[in-house]
């Protein structure tokens, strides 16, 4: 009776709150069907929209409330009304496990309306695939929903169905493929070049991967825009079981490399996935090929400190030459030293890596560690027999590189290991001059305390003071 009293005032029945919501919308939110029936009988506006342009039918669809949807549709609610995101009620019904609301709306919709797209160019079929609702997918396909419509990212519903960690997503994928198991659908690439298989692999969904690759026409070696195949992503993410499936179903016979010349094995190695690396080497087509820089997966592992992989490869005798060099002469030990991985350096030395192997610039691993200031690595290398008195192609000693890098502690370590603080390169420059060039006061202090001579002139006649003045290092001059 009180409600009828309010309804006697025509200004109240469609009155909006701060969000633009009407009393009818509140009936839906509070699940008050009886109140909604009264409002509708008195002529409330069934299609009035809130500030997000959603109507009462949008809200009922979002809540999955079949009774309200039936009531609103009986009062001729507009099922094609779009909100600000261009979403219609049909999209919202796909979020719920029960397909009743979806089926109800489809009874009212004309042919073609089923594929209405939202702001992201997604249809209700995209949404159903995203929410992993196979029954919804079946119903929509039965109503002639187009399974080949790409969204704003170029993805078709099969991409969204495959993009799930839940093993049950295989049912949704199967529903789509049962409708059209075509080669173009299976290998459809989005605007990043990724196929449904790329997505299934990235999510580690072995069930979906097995289903997709069970089709003869599925291309397991498809490149995305980063020139990576599904096998690259499986390796990078350490999905050993998926690696096994992809290798078994690889019809190409060879393992493809990406734009850097890196194979999937490189990515598994650098990420320290030893089980995945083992899986690769069980397959006869896999070899430790070099990338475009001449670096093997073993070198990538060393550069990232992937000790588990290194131990696995050494234990299984998968490394033919621990001292193999890249196109610049760098070895695995160079890579580990440059990156500061102490345990990796120790492991490589234990397996007889050459401690003083020189690259094309005549840099040994010690040079690289000195430049980067990796104290523990330097101490490990010296303990392992690294010579501190070697020079590179420019006559620079490790002490020069420590000074150029501004590493005073490294300078001290090298001097304690009997390197001459006044050693000169081929241009006559001393480590003190190198420190002065960079304005590294702490390095200069260490060198001067260890009898570095500030009066030594390089071949062009410059002393450390010349470099300080030239580069404006006032504090160092003082």
Residue at a domain's end among 44, 79, 109: 109
Task: Give the model's confidence band at 478: pLDDT under 50 very low, under 70 low, under 90 confident, else very high.
Answer: low
264 within some domain: no
Residue 74 within a domain: yes
Return d(Cα 316, Cα 216) in angstroms, integer. Answer: 34
The fraction of the chain above a pLDDT of 90, given in percent, is 85
Q: pLDDT band for position 469 (50/70/90)?
A: confident
Report, as an integer, the average pLDDT of 40-58.
95
CA dist 423 and 387 (Å) reads 15
Compute the distance between CA of residue 447 and CA of residue 36 in angstroms, rounded to an integer: 87
pTM for the model stands at: 0.88
* Res 379 pLDDT > 70: yes
* Residue 88: CATH number of its domain: 1.25.40.20
**Does 335 fall in a domain?**
no
DSSP E strands: which ranges in 47-123?
none
**Burial (CB count within 10 angstroms: exposed 0-12, middle 13-18, buried 19+), residue 159:** buried
Domain final residue, candidates 109, 143, 159: 109
116 alpha carbon, distance to own chain's centre: 32
* Per-residue pLDDT tens digits for 293-315: 999 999 999 999 999 999 999 99
Cα(36)–Cα(41) distance, rounded to whole angstroms? 9
Of the candidates 466, 403, 411, 407, the one whose C-alpha atom is nearest the C-alpha of residue 430 is: 403
Whether 29 shows a pLDDT value over 80: the answer reads: yes
Q: What's the total number of domains in the chain?
A: 2
Cβ-proximal residues to 378 (8 Å cutoff; 6+ apart), any chain: 366, 369, 370, 410, 413, 414
Q: Across all residues in the chain, what is the average pLDDT?
A: 93
Alpha carbon distance 159, 18 (integer Å): 39
DSSP letter (8 states) at residue 114: G
Residue 22 lies in a domain: yes
Residue 27 belongs to domain spanning: 1-109
pLDDT band for position 188 (cuts 50, 70, 90): very high
Cα distances (Å, whole numbers) of residue 41 to 54, 71, 74? 21, 11, 12
How high is the pLDDT of residue 468?
Answer: 74
Domain finish residue from 88, 109, 130? 109
Q: At what angle do helices 134-142 and 169-179 cross, to 10 degrees?
A: 20
Q: Are the beta carbons of 127 and 95 closer than 8 angstroms? A: yes
pLDDT tier, 429 (very low <50, low <70, confident <90, very high otherwise): very high
250 part of a folded domain: no
Q: Is 469 helix (H, G, I), strand (E, B) or coil?
A: helix
Residue 463 lies in a domain: yes
Q: Which is higher by pLDDT, 106 or 111?
A: 106
Task: Note the helical H segments in 42-167.
Answer: 56-63, 66-74, 89-93, 100-108, 124-130, 134-142, 157-162
Q: Is residue 98 part of a domain?
A: yes
């Amino acid at each position: 009776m009180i409600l009828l009293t309010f309804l006697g005032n025509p200004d109240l029945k469609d009155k909006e709150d701060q969000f633009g919501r009407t009393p009818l919308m509140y009936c839906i939110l509070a699940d008050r069907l009886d109140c909604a029936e009264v409002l509708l009988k008195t002529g409330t506006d069934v299609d009035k929209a809130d500030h997000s342009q959603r109507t009462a039918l949008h809200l009922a669809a979002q809540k999955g409330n079949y009774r309200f949807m039936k009531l609103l549709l009986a009062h001729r609610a507009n099922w094609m009304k779009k909100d600000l995101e261009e979403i219609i009620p049909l999209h919202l019904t796909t979020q719920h496990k029960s397909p009743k609301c979806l089926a109800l709306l489809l009874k009212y919709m004309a042919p073609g309306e089923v594929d209405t797209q939202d702001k992201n160019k997604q249809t209700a079929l995209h949404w159903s695939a995203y929410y992993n609702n196979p029954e919804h997918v079946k119903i929509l396909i039965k109503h002639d929903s187009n399974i080949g419509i790409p969204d704003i990212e170029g993805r078709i519903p099969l991409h969204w169905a495959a993009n799930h960690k839940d093993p049950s997503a295989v049912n949704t994928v199967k529903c789509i493929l049962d409708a059209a198991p075509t080669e173009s659908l299976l290998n459809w690439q989005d605007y990043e070049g990724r196929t449904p298989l790329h997505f299934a692999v990235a999510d580690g969904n072995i069930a979906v991967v097995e289903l997709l690759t069970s089709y003869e026409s599925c291309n397991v070696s498809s490149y995305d825009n980063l020139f990576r195949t599904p096998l690259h992503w499986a390796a990078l993410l350490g999905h050993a079981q998926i690696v096994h499936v992809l290798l078994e179903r690889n019809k190409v016979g060879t393992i493809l490399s990406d734009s850097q010349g890196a194979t999937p094995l490189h990515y598994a190695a650098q990420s320290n996935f030893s089980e995945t690396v083992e899986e690769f080497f069980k397959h006869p087509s896999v070899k430790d090929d070099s990338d475009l820089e001449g670096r093997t997966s073993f070198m990538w592992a060393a550069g990232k400190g992937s000790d588990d992989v290194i131990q696995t490869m050494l234990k299984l005798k998968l490394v033919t030459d621990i001292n193999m060099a890249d196109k610049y002469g760098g070895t695995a030990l160079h890579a580990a030293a440059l990156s500061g991985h102490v345990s990796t350096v120790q492991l490589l030395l234990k397996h007889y890596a050459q401690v003083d192997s020189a690259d094309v610039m005549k840099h040994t691993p010690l040079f690289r560690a000195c430049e980067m200031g990796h104290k523990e690595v330097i101490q490990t290398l010296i303990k392992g027999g690294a010579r501190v008195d070697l020079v590179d192609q420019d006559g620079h000693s490790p002490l020069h590189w420590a000074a150029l890098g501004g590493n005073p502690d490294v300078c001290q370590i090298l001097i304690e290991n009997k390197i001459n603080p006044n050693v000169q390169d081929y241009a006559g420059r001393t480590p003190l001059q190198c420190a002065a060039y960079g304005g590294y006061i702490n390095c200069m202090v260490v060198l001067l305390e260890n009898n570095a001579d500030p009066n030594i002139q390089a071949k062009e006649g410059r002393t450390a003071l010349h470099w300080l003045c030239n580069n404006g290092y006032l504090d160092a001059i003082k």
